[in-house]
Amino acid sequence: MQTDGRHEDAGTTHHLVPSAHFDALASGRGGADTIRFLRTTEYSRRLLLLRALLDTAARTPDALGPLPSVDSAWETLTAAQERAPEEFRELLLHPQTGVWLGHGLRRLHHTAWGDGPVWTDLGHLHAVCAVAALRAGLPLRTAVPLRDGSAMFPTLGLARLPGRPRWGTADVVVAGGRLRIGPHGAPVGPPAPGGDGGEPADAPGWAPLRRLRARAARRRLDVWLDDVGPYRDLSEPLPPRRLSPAGAARWQDRFARAVTVLQETDPETAGALAEGLRSLTPVPPSPHGVVLSASSGDAFGGVLTTLPPDPVTFAVTLVHEFQHTKLGALLHLLTLERDGGAERHHAPWRDDPRPLGGLLQGAYAFLGITDFWARYLGRAPRAERAAAEFEFALGRRQTREAVLTLAADPALTAHGRRFVAGMAARLDALPAAARVRPGADALAALAATDHRTEWRIRHLVPAPEDVRALARAFVTGAPAEGTGTGAPAVVPDPTPRWAHARTGLIRHALAPGAPAPAASPADRALLAGDPSAAGAYARLLAADPECPDAWTGLVLSLATADPAARPLLHRPELLRPLHRELRLLGRPTPPARLAHWLVSGGPSG
């Protein structure tokens, strides 16, 4: 339900969305006040999830195995919440606590699995209790599960107890402001409070959770750098992957500089990020040099990412994932679409077909990215200007395409239509269009068309009767006009990852520091405007007549060289199956000739 919040019971306002916050979010924005509101609603949700987990565990035989009961955990948590409500709130809102709650409930409902007994996941409850007691100054004796001889204490660190079985338990004592794990051998735990306030160092048996620090919106931004917690991923628990001190220092340097870029470029978003971002999880680098990042509705304020190569890319990554964070929290409160989940839409930044909800998430993330590039253009150093213009122009084109697709889909709710209208209005208001030079805009148009064309060739399957009718027309010398006009079916293509070589070549040319793709001579000829590109793609198709990348390049090269061939871009998915059908009929035909026949309207000759 949406309301301005002025005429509702004070006890329920946390579950209503004020219009001002809704409209700010719909425009891709939302400052610190909006994020504070979303954190409040997320806290309510976490309390409900915690209660659901405890109640379900209490009804499930042996859910906690050898660990203390649900009742003892409930008593500790309620006492900690009463004694130290803010500390309890921050612990429950910790992104990894949210991931654990979601995973635990899914294990209880048999929709997720783990590599250990169910109590090894559900028993993390007692580690949460131990931290809650420590933060509240309450004494506690409990036990926690061990995973490969380790136990994670959220917001504190990882205790390592070597020599233990893979799945076991360890006693925990909280007393006098200390948390200790034992009793076998020397007890371990966080260092004693005090010292110089610097970053705690690793100690025997203990790996503290590190922090990244920066300044944003005239406040200090502290973010957990989680490389050890089992619930730092978005699905199954992970083993620790500890960064070296030098590696952690690289994260600190690049993060601080990224936040500075964001603060200088978009102070409102920097302030929102300072209010909502709580943890970063390092992800192993991609072999292709692409930045990999992710976030989850379970983990409000948490981001997983490879270390971006520079501060601007890091800033874009933070904007990207924080957009998902905002929309995910809003979707916990409002329904924006009622779709069956069929993978049927082209998302210009994804290789696979997407359901309506996935397209909405992607469009919202790229609305934020495009907004960032629009603002950054005025500050970009001369050496980065051309690349920034291209990224803005490409983002604006692709996001507009996605928003138009969303707006036309009848599965949007009334709230969804209002939300998408806000996204469209924000796109129209972006200020940087006049500052993009024609060359950059032309390259962006080519990259956007490239992706859309290959997506259609890979994932749209014309009706077999349409393909056969076209083949008969070609063989008999009839025109193609009026044949094969049925709607194709969306059938996800399972073949390996796309190369994206042509867009990679553009990025490398505009920013030589970008990864150089393994491009073919045909790709290089196309981007150079060389008329030999069509012939080069035809030779690739002679070697592999099913190659979707080569068919895409052929269509692009023909449409670029001859305006009369541009209609190929509207139904490029016809070419490959038609060429295949003619081969089966014993009438192999040069791809370029077939393409010209499809758009000429005349007989095949």
Which residue range(s) make up the domain with 562? 443-600
- On the CB side of 159, CA atoms within 13 Å amount to 27
| 39 and 187 assigned to the same domain | yes
Final residue of a domain: which of 287, 305, 323?
Answer: 305
More confident residue, 231 or 235: 231
Q: What is the pLDDT of residue 435?
A: 82
- C-alpha angle 270-275-276 in degrees, rounded to nearest 5: 100
pLDDT at 197: 56
Token representation of residue 343: 């993978």
Q: Give mean pLDDT, residues 295-324.
A: 97
Among 270, 305, 340, give the residue marking a domain's end. 305
Burial classification of residue 291, based on how many CB atoms lie within 10 Å of its CB (0-12 exposed, 13-18 middle, 19 or more buried)? middle
Which residues contact residue 402 at a Cβ distance below 8 angstroms, ignoring those fewer than 6 apart? 347, 348, 359, 362, 363, 366
Decide if 579 is inside a domain.
yes
- Quick one: pLDDT at residue 494? 86
Average pLDDT of the residues of the chain? 92
Model confidence at 87: pLDDT above 70: yes
> Which pLDDT score, from 0 to 100, does residue 92 have?
98
The answer to whether position 55 is within a domain reads yes
Assess whether the previous peptide bond of 183 is cis (omega < 30° from 0): yes
Q: Is residue 217 part of a domain?
A: yes
Beta bridge partners of 280: 225, 303
What span, in angstroms and rounded, lies between the C-alpha atoms of 173 and 162? 19
Quick check: is 403 in a domain? no
Give the pLDDT confidence of 572-593 residue by residue, as tens digits.
999 999 999 999 999 999 999 9
| pTM confidence score | 0.93
In a domain, 102, yes or no: yes
Of the listed ranges 116-120, 476-480, 523-527, the least confidently predicted one is 476-480
Q: Identify how many contiguous H helices and E strands the chain contains and give both numbers.
A: 21, 13
- Local structure of residue 572 (DSSP, 8 states): G
Higher pLDDT: 536 or 196? It is 536
Q: What is the pLDDT of residue 12?
A: 40
Contact 100, 296 (CB under 8 A): no
The predicted-structure confidence for 356-390, as pLDDT tens digits, reads as follows 999 999 999 999 999 999 999 989 999 999 999 99
- The string of pLDDT tens digits covering residues 7-29 is 334 344 457 899 999 999 999 99
Residues 100-124, mean pLDDT to the nearest whole number: 95
**Closest to 312 in 3D by CA, of 406, 366, 365, 377:** 377
337 lies in some domain: no
Percentage, residues of the chain above pLDDT 70:
94
Q: In which band, very low, low, confident or very high, does the pLDDT at 289 lie, cut at 50, 70 and 90?
A: confident
DSSP H or E stretch at residue 175: strand 167-175
Window from 75-84, 101-110, 431-440 with minimum mean pLDDT: 431-440
Closest CA to 57 of 123, 137, 102, 146: 123
**Span 148-161, pLDDT tens digits:** 999 999 999 999 99
Q: How far apart are CA 554 and CA 453, in angstroms?
A: 11
The answer to whether residue 583 is domain-embedded is: yes
- Whether residue 2 is predicted with pLDDT greater than 60 in this model: the reply is no
Alpha carbons 282 and 173: distance in angstroms, whole number: 31
Res 234: pLDDT: 84
pLDDT at 437 over 60: yes
Identify any residues that bridge with 482 across adjacent strands, giving them in sequence order.
none
Is 433 within a domain? Answer: no
Q: Write down which residue in 305, 323, 346 finishes a domain.
A: 305
Q: In what order do the strands lie in the sheet with 219-225?
A: 210-216, 219-225, 279-282, 302-305, 293-294
Q: Would you state the pLDDT for residue 184?
A: 52
* Domains identified in the chain, total number: 2
Higher pLDDT, 4 or 111: 111
Q: How confident is the model at residue 196 (pLDDT cuts 50, 70, 90)?
A: low
Query: In this prediction, what percent of the chain has a pLDDT beyond 90?
Result: 83
Question: Quick check: 3 pLDDT over 80?
Answer: no
* Distance, CA of 557 to chain centre: 33
Least confident of 122-131, 390-399, 474-483: 474-483
Q: What is the pLDDT of residues 339-355, one digit of tens each?
A: 989 999 999 999 999 99
Count of alpha carbons within 13 angstroms of residue 426, beta-carbon side: 26
